[in-house]
Amino acid sequence: MKSPLLSLPGAVPAEGVDEGVAAHYGDLFREQRALADGTGFVDLSHRGVVAVTGDDRLSWLHLLLTQHVSDLPAGRATEALILSAHGHVEHALYLVDDGTTTWAHVEPDSQDALIAYLESMKFFYRVEVTDRTGDIAVVHLPAGSIAEVPEGVVVRETSYGRDLLLARADLEAFAQDAGKHGPAVGLLGYEALRVEQHRPRLGFETDHRTIPHELGWIGSAVHLQKGCYRGQETVARVQNLGKPPRRLVFLHLDGSEVHLPPHGTELRLADEGPEGRKIGFITTSVRHHELGPIALGLVKRNVPVDAPLVADTTAAAQEVVVEP
């Protein structure tokens, strides 16, 4: 969905899956600094919004999700995954329950597939699943923001900020009231802080064979003591008997390069050169206002944690995110 905030001065549209919102509003690093300082807001209105209502909503979702949600208190934010039968990540949900409805925001254009799966699992449970993307927009406020939240808006509060589930019809008025919450920040600023915080994103850090252990989703999105859900056998086997085949790493990229290595750029050991064996790939690369060019990448578990890497021709120094 195309955001009305693309009409704000200086707005430059994002591309790819994030098409529909602004990549930035004319000053990328100023926007990043504002967000890091706890001011401003990010338009995430292109994300899908799904609502689950009914008396059985939490107990039913508990059976389907990787997270323990059967007694989720109203107002407490959590994350959860839906896995395939083989334990591969299919959906990532960012959840909050307001006492009558469980809300989830998800990757752009993924809500239809999610709803189709949820509908297929309803059986006799007293639940209703609704696509609310058309009338609810996600807006992010950074950690430390003292902005007032409009009355009646559902809030997901986490360690890295608050996600507001705002009526889409109120989005323009919210943006115009910049005196209360600070300037609009484009998605590139939000993504730079996400990479700095090592937070994985579905479709960026994941591929068709990603399992939760590889990205550090154990703990934040997977509860290891809850009951059965699809794909749990793989999670339990890796947790108790094995090790994930790959691991997420944080990368400092050579700042002398003009271009950032795009998603999918192959990673190799620096001492083997550009013709060496592939040991992973870049998942997200960004320019950070303090750290310079940085990235997240996925590498084979047995890659030494202190080994210099190269992304195509760009040198990359790794920091451990997921222990090998």
Nearest to 207 by CA among 155, 255, 245: 245
The amino acid that residue 279 corresponds to is I
Nearest to 50 by CA among 17, 94, 18, 84: 94
Residue-wise pLDDT tens digits, 27-59 = 999 999 999 999 999 999 999 999 999 999 999
Looking at residue 179, what is its pLDDT? Answer: 65
Percent of the chain with pLDDT over 90: 90
- The mean per-residue pLDDT over the stretch 134-161 comes to 95
Looking at residue 257, what is its pLDDT? Answer: 78
pLDDT at residue 256 greater than cutoff 90: no
DSSP string across 89-121: EEEEEEEEE-SSEEEEEESTT-HHHHHHHHHHT
Between residues 1 and 263, which one has the greater pLDDT? 263
DSSP string across 2-25: --GGGGSTT-EE--GGGBTBEEES
Q: Is the dihedral of CA 205, 209, 215, 218 positive or negative?
A: positive
Burial (CB count <10 Å: 0-12, 13-18, 19+), residue 304: exposed
Looking at residue 47, what is its pLDDT? Answer: 98
Q: Domains in the chain and their CATH numbers? A: 4-47+135-197 (no CATH), 48-131 (3.30.70.1400), 245-323 (2.40.30.160)
The residue to which tokens 């060019």 are assigned: 293
pLDDT at residue 178 greater than cutoff 70: no
- The mean per-residue pLDDT over the stretch 255-272 comes to 92
Residue-wise pLDDT tens digits, 264-309 = 999 999 998 777 899 999 999 999 999 999 999 999 999 999 999 9
Q: Is the dihedral of CA 204, 210, 212, 214 positive or negative?
A: negative
Q: Is the dihedral of CA 181, 182, 184, 190 positive or negative?
A: negative
Residue-wise pLDDT tens digits, 200-230 = 999 999 999 999 999 999 989 999 998 789 9
Rounded CA separation 106/50 (Å)? 8
Instruction: Please check whether residue 82 is in contact with residue 233, taking contact to mean a CB–CB distance below 8 angstroms.
Output: no
Give the C-alpha distances (Å, rounded to integers) separating 51 from 44, 71, 95, 229: 17, 17, 10, 21
Looking at residue 258, what is its pLDDT? Answer: 81
